[in-house]
Amino acid sequence: MGLQDEDRMDEEDKVDEGGGIHPGDGQQQEEECVISDEDFDTDLELDRFHNERRAYDPTGQSSYREACKMLNVIPVSYFLRNMNQSEVNMMHYGLGSQGTKALAISLVTNTSILKLNLRDNWMEGVGGAAIADMLKENCYITEIDLSENRMGEYGARALSSMLLENSTLFSLNLSGNHLDERAARHLSPALIGNQKLQHLDLSHNRFGDIAGEILGAAIAENTAMKSLNLAWNCIRGKGAIAFAKGLEGNIFLRTLDLSYNGLGKEGAVALEEALKHNNTLEDLNISNNRIPLEGAIHLALGLKMNTTLRILKMSRNPMQSAGCFAILKSVQANPETAVEFLEFSDICVDQEFEDLFESTKETLPNLQVKHGGKINAALKKS
């Protein structure tokens, strides 16, 4: 395709622009991906390509066109027009693995883009590895969204290797990438060794009990992370206990989202100890975690001694009004509490809770509480 044809491309034809990768193609490609101890072949391709370049290319436009030609994919006109911007949003462009490779080749020398969104591009493991190799060389990109790309263990392994070398990236989104305990084993040393990454999103993956244990041990030793999102996974039982123990030893994390897992009573008991000893966490979301009344009481004991937590979200847990009451009572009883917001959405509270809240506001006038409404007194009697 010539450059004139390229300029006539409509941005709405995003899937065709990115190389025409479709779900059926992606499944076949992932089946062919085999993890080995050998290095990823994208290194050789990047080196070979850049050795052939003759002129300095600060945006990477010429290298992108040549890479697309070499990989037999159609250049994305939006990318060509915005390579000199500090922020580039390329969600849903259907790049596929080959289109992602071409993009990665051009980004090695790009000095403009600081924030890059590549969400939902069917890059899979091979494309993820190409991005990882690029991030080993690029020292300008600080935020990257790679969510919803089905990268699996192959991509996680490459990105983990990158995190041990990259010193500029501070925000990484890997949500919805089919990551499981095998991916967690690769991520663990990266979380321990990386000193720059501050925000990591691992939500909507397949982390279970074993992954919870692996990541918990890594979090205990991490010295950079400020926010971690593990919502919508399957961390429960021993995994929940191990992760809470890791949180107990962490002294850097400020925000943690564990909503939509399965912490249950056991996880809540472990979090009691974490809240007693952790003096840095400020925002904790444990909504929809099957935490019963007994679990809420244990959490309340931890809150009674905690001096840093400002936001606690416990929506949609089967702890009833009595559990909400126990949490609020512990906040009231803690003279050094930092709690500003409690969320109990979809949990109805009784008059006893309402009375306690009114009395608590006398000493904590800025405290906000959100709940599922008041239990009808007549209904309660019946």
Q: Got the DSSP string for 169-229?
A: --EEE-TTS---HHHHHHHHHHHHH-SS--EEE--SS---HHHHHHHHHHHHH-SS--EEE
Q: Is 226 exposed, middle or buried (0-12, 13-18, 19+ CB in 10 A)?
A: middle
57: Cβ contacts below 8 Å, ≥ 6 apart: 63, 109
Cα first-last separation, the chain: 75
Contact status, residue 291 vs residue 260, Cβ threshold 8 Å: no
Closest CA to 257 of 283, 236, 275: 283
Q: pLDDT (tens digit, 9 = 90+) per residue, 332-346?
A: 999 999 999 999 999
Cα–chain center distance at 335: 34
pLDDT of residue 125: 98
pTM, rounded to two decimals: 0.85
pLDDT of residue 49: 52
pLDDT of residue 39: 46
Q: Which one-letter DSSP state was computed for residue 33?
A: -
pLDDT of residue 381: 47
Give the whole-angstrom CA distance, residue 282 versus residue 201.
Answer: 17
The edge-to-edge listing of strands for the beta sheet with 87-89 is 87-89, 115-117, 143-145, 171-173, 199-201, 227-229, 255-257, 283-285, 311-313, 341-344, 368-371
If DSSP codes are grouped into helix, strand and coil, which group holds residue 285?
Answer: strand
Q: Which one-letter DSSP state was computed for residue 375?
A: P
Contact status, residue 60 vs residue 109, Cβ threshold 8 Å: yes
Contact status, residue 152 vs residue 54, Cβ threshold 8 Å: no
112: Cβ contacts below 8 Å, ≥ 6 apart: 58, 59, 83, 84, 85, 86, 140
Burial 121-140 (b: 16+ CB within 10 A, else e): bbbbbbbbbbbbbbbbbbee
Please identify every stretch of the chain with a pLDDT value under 70, giving residue numbers as ranges. 1-56, 377-382
Contact status, residue 329 vs residue 355, Cβ threshold 8 Å: no
Q: Tell how strand 368-371 and strand 341-344 pair up.
A: parallel
Q: Where are the alpha helices (DSSP H) in 8-123?
A: 14-17, 23-32, 42-52, 61-71, 77-82, 96-107
Q: Tell how strand 283-285 and strand 341-344 pair up.
A: unpaired
Question: Six-digit token pair at 108?
Answer: 């090695």
Contact status, residue 232 vs residue 258, Cβ threshold 8 Å: no
